[in-house]
Copies of this chain bind each other. A is one copy, B any other.
């Protein structure tokens, strides 16, 4: 990886701290424990890697990296077997890994691409593990280059003195955009809703911005509209778990509620995305992951209500295109109504 990005990347987003491959073991930065601990989870097989994704050890740009490295692990463990048996083992691993995140189709797409590289290597009688790792390294380098391009577009939208609202942990492109804006002398202030139940805003976004020296304040998930009404917010930025070809944005639950509040206050909402999912033409094609409601009844392991009370935990929501001012892609800040022209 290119070290020249390090002044734009906090601890959490440096590639080696997201996920890495150590002699057939996938090592994952544990975002559940950050910032209280800088811990890593070691996964020696596909099942433990899949469970790590399901248990939210990583999120955002992490799951696809873990999934592809887990596929390399499956290839390594099948290395001595026949070509057919290797293909079967890889297919089993792929199926298990895709199941970890039904909403985020980027994970499935990247696994398919890595599978293609692996199968081509098997056809040639070469080690599939190395082919997957080569594909991974190449793809990750391209992705960080893409982050940088989108971060420049994002920073260009920020004005000196802006109050910036975000939601959850909008990851590398957003953090880089804020770093570029700040380092170019724009005096910004970022408000990060804590993002219940897993507190990604309080635990990941706020400490990452703080580490880069950018003024940031944690707020409750119910506070953004009030800040907007006081003139404290000029722009709203999030990432997206998925964008449909017709411009619907799927992201962490709460994103939609804040997009409505932003629209009410005439505040533009911008979305960092590497582009729409060609397999998701409209909102009807989206599967919203519903997680175990018990996760909504605790905060860092402490109960928040009686054990006999019911709860609900839809993990994502859908923001319609008329609430979106722009989708920030490698092609620029696009209208959500114009994605087909670039990605269709």
A interface residues, Cβ below 8 angstroms from B: 35-36, 167, 191, 193-197, 199, 202-203, 206-207, 210, 215-227, 229, 253-254, 256-258, 260-261, 264, 293, 296-297, 299-306, 308-314, 317-318
Task: Name which residue of chain B comes closest to A201, CB basis.
Answer: B305
A-B contact pairs, 30 of them (CB 8 A): A196-B196, A199-B304, A199-B305, A206-B309, A207-B305, A207-B309, A210-B308, A210-B309, A215-B310, A218-B297, A218-B312, A219-B312, A220-B253, A220-B254, A223-B257, A225-B257, A226-B253, A226-B317, A227-B312, A227-B314, A229-B256, A257-B257, A257-B261, A260-B260, A260-B261, A264-B264, A299-B300, A300-B302, A300-B304, A302-B302
Q: A254: which of B199, B223, B296, B302 is its contact (CB, 8 Å)?
A: B223
Q: How far apart sit A319 and B35, CA to CA, in the bound complex (Å)?
A: 36
Question: Nearest-CB distance from A310 to chain B (Å)?
Answer: 5
- A225 lies within 8 A of B304 (CB): no
- A225 lies within 8 A of B309 (CB): no
- A191 lies within 8 A of B312 (CB): yes
Question: Nearest-CB distance from A222 to chain B (Å)?
Answer: 3
Given known pairs A196-B194, A226-B256, A260-B264, the reply for A299 and B296 (CB within 8 Å) is: no
B-chain residues with CB within 8 Å of residue A226 when the two chains form the complex: 253, 256-257, 314, 317-318
Given known pairs A222-B196, A305-B194, A305-B199, the reply for A310 and B257 (CB within 8 Å) is: no
Question: Nearest-CB distance from A250 to chain B (Å)?
Answer: 11
- A225 lies within 8 A of B317 (CB): yes
Q: How far apart sit A317 and B227, CA to CA, in the bound complex (Å)?
A: 9
